[in-house]
Amino acid sequence: MTTMKRDETATALNPRTDAERVGRPAFLGPNSCCLRARPENLHFEPARTALVVVDMQNAYLSEGGYMHAAGFDIGHAQATIAQTARVIEAARAAGVTLVYLQNGWDARYVEAGGPGAPNWHKSNALKTMRQRAELDGTLLAKGSWDYEIVDAVRPQPGDLVVAKTRYSGFFNTPLDSLLRSRDIRTLAFCGVATNVCVESTLRDAYHLEYFCALLADASTHAGPDETFRATLFNIETFFGWVSHADAFIEALSTTSPTTA
């Protein structure tokens, strides 16, 4: 199977068609949207869909934030912010539920875990602070600038904001309950990092029986470009569908009968 490269997401999707049955969930109501996606199109109902905006924080997207301080390339940050803002605007206008995930810990880092927790050993934010004393207490701490969601995509009243302390938005959070209480069955993902928190949350969502689509050009990765391509392969092959911002916005503007 061939997968999308970093810059191919806008041209490698399937044309819209109502012929396929795969990608057409059995629970669909009388009208649905058709999202052009890989490996096949995905049908969804806006009222039963949530846009999951993952960790769009200064830590991951701004100069001086954790990722920048740790030496990761944040060159895709501004493009990701711009695409995510477009997707959020369209989703909100179409009645799609907005869910913001926000990653970090309390100011004393109790939630991060001590040396007995693997997170203490693997978190690059924690390691960076141990290596650079001047950053101690500044990275991903609740209430800090680093923890804040960037201004361009800030939540609005009525949006759901879920704080998390590990990569997956479902771990030790009320996310699943919040979604099920709203009868949400389909999740569209954007945000950062594609290969870490986005993929971790999407995998857990799949195991919880949600239909999942990644909007690839509204997401950016941590590490070399092959990590981004690997995540696209994993999602379209095993866990869901891969699409892009324009296709999602287009789908929200058009409904189609859900005939078999």
The whole-angstrom separation of Cα 87 and Cα 181 is 24
Interval 232-254 mean pLDDT: 97
- Give the pTM: 0.91
Quickly tell me which residue has 């690839």 as its tokens: 216
pLDDT band at 8; cut points 50, 70, 90: low
Choose, from 34, 190, 197, 212, the residue flagged as catalytic. 197
Told to judge if 197 belongs to the known catalytic residues of this protein, a careful annotator would answer: yes
Helices (H), 94-191: 118-122, 124-131, 175-180
Choose, from 33, 55, 204, 212, the residue flagged as catalytic. 55
Measure Cα distances from 40 to 35, 217, 235 in Å: 9, 18, 12
Choose, from 164, 190, 204, 246, the residue flagged as catalytic. 164
The whole-angstrom separation of Cα 105 and Cα 129 is 14
List all residues 6 or more positions away from 170 whose beta carbon is below 8 Å from its beta carbon.
Answer: 176, 201, 204, 205, 208
Told to judge if 164 belongs to the known catalytic residues of this protein, a careful annotator would answer: yes
Q: What is the pLDDT of residues 176-232, one digit of tens each?
A: 999 999 999 999 999 999 999 999 999 999 999 999 999 999 999 999 999 999 999
Q: What is the pLDDT of residues 103-131, one digit of tens each?
A: 999 999 999 999 999 999 999 999 999 99
Q: Is the pLDDT of residue 89 over 80?
A: yes
**In the chain, where are the structural domains located?**
31-106+150-257
pLDDT band at 254; cut points 50, 70, 90: confident
Region 31-106+150-257: CATH code: 3.40.50.850
The whole-angstrom separation of Cα 80 and Cα 85 is 8
Residue from 71, 64, 9 nearest 224 by CA:
71
